Structure 1
Amino acid sequence: MTLVKMGKKKKSLTGKIISYFILSIWVLITLIPVIFTILTAFKSDPEISMASFRWLPSSFTYIENFRQAFLMGDWLLYFRNSLLITVITVAGSLLFNSMAGYAFARLKFKGREILFMIILLGMMVSPQSIIIPQFVMMRSVPLAGGNNILGQGGTGLLDTYVALIVPFLAGAFGIFLCRQFYSSFPESLDDAARIDGCGAIRTYFYVFLPLSKTILATLTILKSVATWNDFFYPLIMTQSEKMKTVQLGLQMFRGSSMTHYNYLMAATLITVIPMVIVYACAQKYFVQGIVSSGMKN
């Protein structure tokens, strides 16, 4: 019996060693682009142009790249636009996704499952495949941006905050996460709320919403990163300098003859800071939210 136990322990130890080795390799592969970005941000132009590649810069005190990167564009405007779009989109997304998830999880109505399956189909459609219909819809909004009553003659909602915010106030993935999360609560919560005279709306706001800290933190991280890092959608929906986001601002470092990689990486590090702060504040709830959304009591 002792030999059997020792054999099992050996297998368990071997499995752990292999698992940690694979995880270490994966972490290293993931960190290489981050390390490359940080090191390149401190390199001078001659070091970037060297024929032989070198990882380390000659000096980490070369902060001129950050100053030049900041002076090459109206970064205060870019940050203001990205911050405004991200904050409003995340706030609206938390409200609408959680309300929809609550309705699908706790309310009984005809066609609930069919409607939920239709919404889930949205997870199978790539955003790039619907960008043209979205563009046409935003351009053809009646009485907006110089349009007539038929939605013709002007630009509609293009090049406005509305075009960058409204399409992302709710999404299939957020509704799915919230629905799974609210499905994990016992029916006794609804019964107790009904006994106290609460309807569906009051039950949501006074019972379920205060218990939703983990899933809302998870959605905050996911939605913040997706909105802040979005490049393709603002590129299509905006034309003017005043509506540029930080991701569009990074384009200025790409010239027709050369790309200033040191300035580009320095600016990239600056643009990453807000998302690092968001993740640092909400990361302790992130794993809890993902796990709890897949559990059902």
Structure 2
Amino acid sequence: MKKSRVRQGLLLLLMVFFCAVIMLPFLIMFFTSLKTSSEIAAPVFRLLPEKWLFSNYADAMKSSDWGRFFYNTFFVTVVATGISLVINSMAGYAFARLNFKGRDMLFMLALVGMMIPQQVTMLPNFVAMKYFPLAGGNNILGQGGTGLINTYAGVVAPYIAGAFGVFLFRQFFLNFPKALDEAAKIDGLTRFGTFVRVYIPLSKAIFATLIVFKTTSTWNEYTWPLIITAKKDMWTVQLALSVFKEEFVTQWNYLMAATTLIMLPLLVLYIFMQKYFVEGIVTTGIKG
């Protein structure tokens, strides 16, 4: 009994230590956002600010059109996540519950997408957006205009589906017994009706899991919006952080203040989705 308590105490101390290590960068970011520029540039580092300047947050938001930047990011994230949930859930359901010729081969081909780095596909995606037919002044052959460059559709398009989401839903739907499909069939439900009225209500955990993954990746994306947008009014919040970086000087207090505000929506999302997120990870068999 005594050894068990000692082991639990040591485990608790170890967990507290690792939590402190993980939280330290976030604490430094938060406290830096409350300092003056001279205090940040001081030769001696101090974790806590001498004077807590919460006005840095208001000043940071006034430095540019941050309302527009947050709107762009929120719109792109919500649309991309919503469409992705529909496409990935239906594809995962088909691969898990429907029997059709070539199903396993198609699923293996879909998984190839998980093996290709995102950076490899950015140039082909840009070309596809640039020469998208009948968009941005393009003709039917995709020539003569700008296509989907500097548009919400161009920013959202690469995010609306992905092999990882299909894999998540397939693994989750495989856990349901075949008797569930047979019972739905006896009740007169079609395949689509079974998916909508039976599987979706039972899949809150996996939907929450993909919402967290997709929202986080889309909200934090930097490279693709940088490539596909050339106008400032189309910037996302990650691109907008560059307004605090000048050629030789970086306004670290404002930069950290804006970064803290950008991080807060994801933190709130995870707090509300944590229960379902953990359940979804467990049921799909994914291990970190």
TM interval, short-chain normalised: over 0.9
**3-state SS of paired residue (1:211):** coil
1:285 and 2:276 correspond: yes
1:252 and 2:281 correspond: no
TM-score scaled by length of structure 2: 0.95
Q: Which of 248, 271, 275 is residue 262 of structure 2 equivalent to?
A: 271
Q: Which amino acid aligns with 1:74?
A: D
Per-residue deviation, residues 243-290 of structure 1 (Å, max 9, x unmatched): 111111111111101100100000111112221221122111110011
> For residue 31 of structure 1, what is the aligned residue in structure 2?
23
Q: Which amino acid aligns with 1:287?
A: V
Q: RMSD between aligned alpha carbons?
A: 1.6
Q: Which of 190, 194, 210 is residue 185 of structure 2 equivalent to?
A: 194
Distance in 2, Cα, partners of 1:158 & 1:17: 57
> For residue 75 of structure 1, what is the aligned residue in structure 2?
66
Q: 274-283 or 197-206, which moves further after superposition? A: 274-283
Q: Which of 85, 88, 91 is residue 76 of structure 2 equivalent to?
A: 85
1:102 and 2:93 correspond: yes
Structure 1 portions without partners, runs of 5+: 1-5
Q: Which of 207, 228, 240 is residue 237 of structure 1 equivalent to?
A: 228
Distance in 2, Cα, partners of 1:136 & 1:25: 48
**3-state SS of paired residue (2:200):** helix
**3-state SS of paired residue (1:156):** coil
1:145 and 2:166 correspond: no
Q: Which of 144, 151, 173 is residue 160 of structure 1 equivalent to?
A: 151
Output aligned runs, 1:11-50, within 5 Å. Answer: 16=8, 19-50=11-42
TM-score scaled by length of structure 1: 0.92
Identity of aligned residues (%): 46
Distance in 2, Cα, partners of 1:24 & 1:280: 19
Shift of 1:17: 5.0
Would you identify which runs of 4 or more consecutive aligned residues in structure 1 move more than 4 Å? 12-19
Per-residue deviation, residues 211-244 of structure 1 (Å, max 9, x unmatched): 0111101111111111111111101110101111
Distance in 2, Cα, partners of 1:14 & 1:280: 31
1:228 and 2:219 correspond: yes
1:65 and 2:48 correspond: no
Distance in 2, Cα, partners of 1:186 & 1:197: 18
> For residue 294 of structure 1, what is the aligned residue in structure 2?
285
Q: Which of 109, 117, 123 is residue 126 of structure 1 equivalent to?
A: 117
Structure 2 portions without partners, runs of 5+: none
> For residue 3 of structure 1, what is the aligned residue in structure 2?
none
Distance in 1, Cα, partners of 2:113 & 2:180: 31
Shift of 1:24: 3.1
Distance in 1, Cα, partners of 2:249 & 2:174: 54
Distance in 2, Cα, partners of 1:113 & 1:285: 29
Shift of 1:167: 1.7
> For residue 43 of structure 2, what is the aligned residue in structure 1?
51
Shift of 1:59: 2.1
**3-state SS of paired residue (1:210):** coil
Q: Which of 258, 262, 277 is residue 253 of structure 2 equivalent to?
A: 262
**3-state SS of paired residue (1:77):** helix
Aligned residues: 286
Q: Which amino acid aligns with 1:226?
A: S
Q: If you compute each CA radius of gyration, which structure gives the higher value, 1 or 2? A: 1
Distance in 2, Cα, partners of 1:268 & 1:96: 32
